Amino acid sequence: MSASFVEVGIRQAWPFLGFCDNREAPSKEARLYLDASWSINGERGPRSGVIEDWLVAADDLNGLTVSKATAETDGSLRLDFAGGATLSISAEVSSASPGEPWWMSPGRP
């Protein structure tokens, strides 16, 4: 995987990261949505609620390139970024969750 993180935000109730893959023309963009607890560099973020916490913490990843993505058998996800930063997403969704702990949008130009 070689995609750079280019966007952080909240869509409805879900925090997300936007990625851009420039290896081919035209470039493709996709979003990773979170509906579970998360941690960045080992520091846990809230499961939900405090939008500012997500926006501030995830902004530290801005412009970094994903060097490795690991989907674990339990459903958790770990993204390793060039330079050593990590994002981990738990497999345990909140009780109000409609579905998966995380998902990717389809890539689009």
| pLDDT, averaged in runs of 10, over the chain (109 residues) | 70 85 85 90 68 82 90 95 92 78 85
Does residue 89 fall inside a structural domain? yes
Does residue 39 fall inside a structural domain? yes
Does residue 48 fall inside a structural domain? yes
Please tell me the predicted confidence (pLDDT) of residue 1. Answer: 46
Does residue 9 fall inside a structural domain? yes
Print the domain residue range for 86.
4-104
Does residue 10 fall inside a structural domain? yes
Strands 43-44 and 36-40 come out as antiparallel
Please tell me the predicted confidence (pLDDT) of residue 109. Answer: 66
Does residue 109 fall inside a structural domain? no
Cis peptide bond N-terminal to 26, omega within 30 = yes
What pTM was computed for the model? 0.83
Structurally, how many domains does the chain consist of?
Answer: 1
